[in-house]
Amino acid sequence: MDKSNRRIRESPIHQGEDEQLAYTLTIPTSWGADPSSPVVTIKDVDGEDVTSDYTSGSASASGAVITTPTILDLVDKVQYRLEVRFTVSGGNVEEAWGDLRGEM
C-alpha cells in the first residue's frame, strides 16, 4: 500500500477467472496501529456493490496485516474496485482501494 495515498500499490491487480485468492495488505504505521474490523467491498464499473457475488468468507486482521476474503469467479476483461475499510487504534476509520481485473 502506498503511504502517500489510499491506492493499493499493486493496483491494478490481475486475477484469472478460475482463480480463488485471498489478498493481504500491510497497513503502514503512518495510518495508525492495530487495524481491526476490516470490511471488504467489491464494486462493478457502475459502482454497484457486488461483494456477495465475488467473495467467500470474511476479512480478518492480525497485527498490521489485513487478509481479504477469498475473491473468486471474476469475469474476463471486467474491471472491479476493491475497497478495504478498517478501524485503527484511536477510532479512526481508514480505507484503501485498488482496481481488480478479471482475466482468462
- Chain-centroid distance, C-alpha 16: 16
Report if pTM > 0.85. Answer: yes
58-98 pLDDT, tens per residue? 999 999 999 999 999 999 999 999 999 999 999 999 999 99
46-57 pLDDT, tens per residue? 999 999 999 999
Q: What SS3 state is found at 55?
A: strand
Q: Where are the alpha helices (DSSP H) in the chain?
A: 51-54
> CB of 70 within 8 A of CB of 57?
yes
Going along the chain from its start, the domains and CATH numbers come out as 13-103 (2.60.40.1220)
Q: Where are the alpha helices (DSSP H) in 17-103?
A: 51-54
> CB of 70 within 8 A of CB of 55?
yes
